[in-house]
Structure 1
Amino acid sequence: MADNQQFVLYGAAASGSVAVEAALTLLDISFEVIEGETWSSDAARECVGKQNPMRQVPTLVLPGGETLTESAAILTWLADAYPDARLAPAPHDLSRAQFLRWMFFVSSAIYSLHWIKPDVSRIGAPHSARDRVVASVHERIAFCWRTMDAELDPGKYLLGDALSVLDLYVAVISRFGPWRERFYAEAPKMTPAIKRVDDDPQLKALWARRFPEA
């Protein structure tokens, strides 16, 4: 592991940890990535489990050794820890409440559903029902994107004219099933902001490297 003066991120390509990589990139913070595809590798689960008993990515180890888990918490903490970058509304800002609402909505109502898909027995369904369960999960996610789109009034970005970690979060999670084309159909108001994040010159290399098939 890197020395305790550096951020260490346990993550994986095409996973939610890429949103954290994007935030660290925009903040120009030095960090090490320890690859851990915990959904497909016992070795990865064991590695990540040393820092996170849930054996999930992203897991961020701060300089000094403190561990942060949960993607929404990590992104919000980074934005608040580096306020000069303005990656989140300040606590006194009028848009702070909606920022928190949608950060945790994406986390709890959308991202968390992907936990079901690798092993549908986690919710008591037989393996033979996996295709039906995954299709239902995707329909629920589409409904959630549609709901969020109806409630937001985006500007250049989701919360107005300033890029926030919410934009990074949605730019990553919308790449998962039912995938971007469905996201574009369900969330037409959010789509321009997310495409703008895709094209951000500071992030294009990251997206290409961490979502090579997207």
Structure 2
Amino acid sequence: MVSLNPTDPILFVGNGGGSMLAEIVLGMAGVRFRVQVAGWGDNGLESDGLHASNPLGQVPTLVFPNGTVLTETAAIILTIHDSRPDLELVPTGDSGLRPSFWRWLMFINAAIYPSFTYGDYPQKWADQDQEGPLRTRTDQHRKRLMLHLEQQASHPWFLGETFSALDLYIWMLIQWRPKPDWYQTHAPKLYTIAKRVDDLTVTKRVIARNGVKPLP
């Protein structure tokens, strides 16, 4: 629930970026927060306020009125889960699904995310522009990773009948390279999961605020 109240926490975001997932989760939990948009520059996000709270200049960065700073999407998700287990962002302990949830949560954050870290701004890591081999190779590697995730996906959600935060991650990843059309053809199970998330009311609000297109 986006707010203008100065006593509510501030969520630093980059429109269309990974912070969309934090916006969805906070919205699902009914948490009131203020949005502070950081602009995209040649080398990433540019915002004095963001860098003051998070020197790495990454989003999402959630800043509470008492000065507490929470970064990393997974950390925000797990914090929300602690206070709102009814949202089922994490499978219940007796479901038998938690090991799979932890496995694929780590896979997404440790294997897939870095391909964007290095591929989105290759000029930060190598003497080449955005069309150089580093981007090409990280994009190719990401396709292999996403096809591996496709092989593991169940229906109607990634873990089967049980919704979890993994489904939100899948929705977010499909917004980015190699883009939704590729997923429709090569990873239809992931695309179907993302489309279900796309149709959630809270997701539609985040789509509108970020100025991104609904999935076709």
Give TM-score, length-normalised by structure 2: 0.85
Residue 213 to residue 40, structure 1, CA distance change in 2 (3 Å): farther
Deviation at 1:30, TM superposition (A): 0.8
Q: Secondary structure at the match of 1:190?
A: helix
**Root-mean-square deviation over aligned CA pairs:** 2.5
Residue correspondences, number: 211
Paired residues for 1:32-111 under 5 Å: 32-37=34-39, 39-40=41-42, 44-62=46-64, 64-111=66-113
Deviation at 1:72, TM superposition (A): 2.0
User: Corresponding residue for 1:31?
Assistant: 33
Paired residues for 1:1-214 under 5 Å: 3-4=6-7, 6-37=8-39, 39-40=41-42, 44-62=46-64, 64-123=66-125, 125-128=126-129, 130-152=131-153, 154-213=154-213
Residue 103 to residue 43, structure 1, CA distance change in 2 (3 Å): closer
Deviation at 1:38, TM superposition (A): 5.1
Please, which moves more after superposition, 60-69 or 93-102? 60-69
Gapped regions of structure 1 (runs ≥ 5) = none
Deviation at 1:157, TM superposition (A): 1.4
Give TM-score, length-normalised by structure 1: 0.86
Gapped regions of structure 2 (runs ≥ 5) = none
Provide, for residues 120-172 of structure 1, a one-character-per-residue CA deviation record: whole Å limited to 9, x for no partner.
2433x2225743321211111111110111123x2221122233221112111
Structure with the greater relative contact order (CA < 8 A, sep ≥ 6): 1 or 2? Answer: 1
- Counterpart code for 2:135: V
Q: Secondary structure at the match of 2:119?
A: coil
Provide, for residues 11-38 of structure 1, a one-character-per-residue CA deviation record: whole Å limited to 9, x for no partner.
0210000011011111121111111135
Cα contact 1:142–1:183 (8 A) shared by 2: no
> Quick one: percent identity of the two aligned structures?
27
